[in-house]
Amino acid sequence: MSEITPEIVAEHGLSPEEYDRVLHALGREPNLTELGIFSVMWSEHCSYKSSRVHLKKLPTKAPWVIQGPGENAGVIDIGNGLAAIFKMESHNHPSYIEPYQGAATGVGGILRDVFTMGARPIANMNALRFG
């Protein structure tokens, strides 16, 4: 079994503090597969570890909010028995590795989540930013 070095931890996108949390959670040194699982689950894509603090500042409760954070997509009452469904997807790493396919899977995730809220998409925008 390979020894988990600080370089391997860094290659997996985990900070030394996060690696300490892994050690505490497992009560032992992880193997490479376990390190990979923590790396994925604690990535920005899955856990929003760097943007969560900013997302929490956004308003999420109001009489017109039918579904706020925690579901597949947000649902807002726009009157006359109609609702608008909004969804954003982060595909930072997949889009960095393969811009076209990474962005395509991001759009697919957005459409899936709009459908799961019982809605039909009428518009879709894909913004891809590097840097």
In sequence order, the 6+-apart residues with CB closer than 8 A to the CB of 73 are 67, 85, 86, 87, 113, 114, 116, 117, 119
Q: Which of 24, 54, 91, 93 is catalytic?
A: 91
Please pick, among 12, 24, 45, 93, the residue that the annotation labels catalytic.
45
Measure the CA–CA gap between 83 and 64, rounded to whole angstroms.
Answer: 9
Q: Of 32, 45, 58, nearest to 92 (Cα)?
A: 45
Three-state DSSP at 83 gives strand
Maximum distance among all Cα pairs of the chain, rounded to whole angstroms: 62
For residue 34, give Cα distances in angstroms to 25, 39, 50, 53, 83. Answer: 11, 8, 22, 26, 42
Annotated active-site residue 45? The verdict is: yes
Verify whether residue 93 is a known catalytic residue: no
Please list the active-site residues: 45, 91
